[in-house]
Amino acid sequence: MNFGFISTRFAGTDGVSLEAAKWAEVLWMDGHVSHWFSGLSDRQEEISMVVPQAYFGHESIREIESDIWGGSTRSRAVTARIHELTAFLKEEIYEFADRFSIDVLVPQNALTIPMHVPLGLAITEFLAETGMKCIAHHHDFSWERARFSNTGVRDFLDAAFPPSLPNIEHVVINTAAQREISLRKGVTATLIPNVFHFEEEPPGIDKYNRDFRKAIGLSEDDILILQPTRIVPRKGIEHAIELVRQLDDPRCKLVISHAAGDEGFEYLELLERLASEAGVDLRVVADRVDELRGKTEDGKKIYTLWDAYPHADFVTYPSLIEGFGNALLESVYFKKATLVNRYPVYVEDIEPKGFQFPSIDGLVTHDAVAEVKNYLEDDEFRTGAVERNFEIAKQFYGFEELRRLLGECVDRLEKHE
């Protein structure tokens, strides 16, 4: 069958873009062909349709955004503009479906978080009018984000985020979301967690990335503690700083791979101040780590996150909240010992699988620090733990498990027909 993936963007390393690509790869294993509809795209042109107005960063959407959040009403003009954009985008979706003979539509978070209200409404109307089979992949709902709680588009959220239509197979990524969509929307949802290609051995140090440590100013004797996330408050990076402070080893360097800016720079400034006061060597290397290898304007090498992981001696993942935890799966894939702050989804969905991680509950204790030291110093113990974690992840979060679960969704849609 022809699957039509649809979202505001399919570009870069955000969770939605990455998971959608994994779904497409798994669907290809069973002979299905995927096509892409979005406002921003890095997919192949011949299998994609790009409509700039479908991007949440488009000027027309930003104008609407400023009027629909933070109050209980919206202007009459914005209502008209939303309807106008909805009608336009719906026609574009019809063209997309016709051009690529789409059999199953796969909205990726576009019916979940209301970053683009007209697109969600357009998809909902299209599905209601055509009865086309649909697998709606939900990553994070509006009710999970405080910024969407006070709104002048409650009617639109009720209608389309997500909609309740008989031709939609809903998919969520954690148990809490599975409960909430049932309680709030009266629909059942299949739980399909985020996955990684654990069936393949991870890449290691090669000719290109062997000088990564030197490039970021580290020596071979330094202990590289990697924080492989963006710099936003929910990542809890202050706990990583506290861990390094208590390790009390000048060889320990805390390296953050990604930049700040998504939610302002105040958090980065706070972290830099905390690190300075704690005597922690904190390095943000976002200028040297990007989605693709290449060169900076002054000719320096650009590495990817996958170039950084093989060099890490330890990984910190002290998030306060996550929809799932892609970076945690990545650290398991690269067989790295990882400190985890026991965020809710980890406690309910991941921890019971039997993983072995040093962990904290919002506080870096002496026991947690001692456990981390054991991972750093005992090679045999560390190797055994990361190998067990890899095998557990392969069983529950590998491509074969995704293939099985996604295949069941497709089967249910075909039976519904």
387 and 406 in a single domain? The answer is: no
410 and 379 in a single domain? The answer is: no
Q: Which segments of the chain have a pLDDT < 70?
A: 261-263, 416-417
Q: In this structure, is residue 205 part of a structural domain?
A: no
CA–CA dist 146, 372 (Å, integer)? 34
Closest CA to 171 of 22, 44, 358, 43: 22
Q: Residue 91's domain spans which residues?
A: 2-195+399-416
pLDDT (0 to 100) of residue 387: 96
Total domains, the chain: 2
pLDDT (0 to 100) of residue 260: 81
pLDDT (0 to 100) of residue 136: 97
pLDDT (0 to 100) of residue 13: 76
25 and 40 in a single domain? The answer is: yes
pLDDT digits (tens, 9 = 90+) for 357-371: 999 999 999 999 999
CA–CA dist 316, 326 (Å, integer)? 13
Which amino acid is located at 251 in the chain?
R
234 and 382 in a single domain? The answer is: yes
Closest CA to 171 of 10, 347, 417, 410: 410
pLDDT (0 to 100) of residue 133: 96
377 and 404 in a single domain? The answer is: no
pTM of the model: 0.90
Q: Is the dihedral of CA 248, 252, 253, 256 positive or negative?
A: negative
CA–CA dist 139, 190 (Å, integer)? 12
388 and 307 in a single domain? The answer is: yes
Q: In this structure, is residue 206 part of a structural domain?
A: no
11 and 143 in a single domain? The answer is: yes
pLDDT (0 to 100) of residue 295: 94
SS3 413: helix
406 and 318 in a single domain? The answer is: no
156 and 12 in a single domain? The answer is: yes
38 and 163 in a single domain? The answer is: yes
CATH code of the domain covering residue 167:
3.40.50.2000
Would you say 125 and 90 are in contact if contact means Cβ atoms under 8 Å apart?
Answer: yes
371 and 404 in a single domain? The answer is: no
